[in-house]
Amino acid sequence: MSEKFDYDLIIIGSGAAGMSAARAAAASKIRVAIIENELVGSKSDIYRVAQLSASDIANQYYEAKKFLQLSNNQDTLT
């Protein structure tokens, strides 16, 4: 027996970044699936945040804004 799944977004990892992305997407009525091989909510991403440079953060913001505009036809990222 095979099951069919229908998601708009699949997030790999449920660390801080994955959970934040999932919450934001779900709040926008996007159907989300999270794939995790550890316990949900692992802390691995929290330690990496301190290593991000300003250009990394700016690039991630730009990519997130572009994704939201394409998927939701929104022109603002809050």
In the numeric block, the tokens 């394409």 are attached to 70
Q: Is residue 65 part of a domain?
A: yes
Model confidence at 10, in pLDDT bands (50, 70, 90)? very high
Q: Is residue 3 part of a domain?
A: no
Query: 31-58 pLDDT, tens per residue?
Result: 999 888 876 555 555 555 556 666 777 7
Q: Which residues contact 60 (CB under 8 A, 6 or more apart)?
A: 52
Q: How many domains does the chain have?
A: 1
Range of the domain at 13: 9-72
Q: What is the pTM of this model?
A: 0.48
Query: Token pair of 7, please?
Result: 């998601």
Q: Is residue 36 part of a domain?
A: yes
Q: Is residue 1 part of a domain?
A: no
Q: Is residue 47 part of a domain?
A: yes
Q: Which residues contact 72 (CB under 8 A, 6 or more apart)?
A: 28, 30
Query: Token pair of 61, please?
Result: 């913001």
Position 72 scores a pLDDT of 62
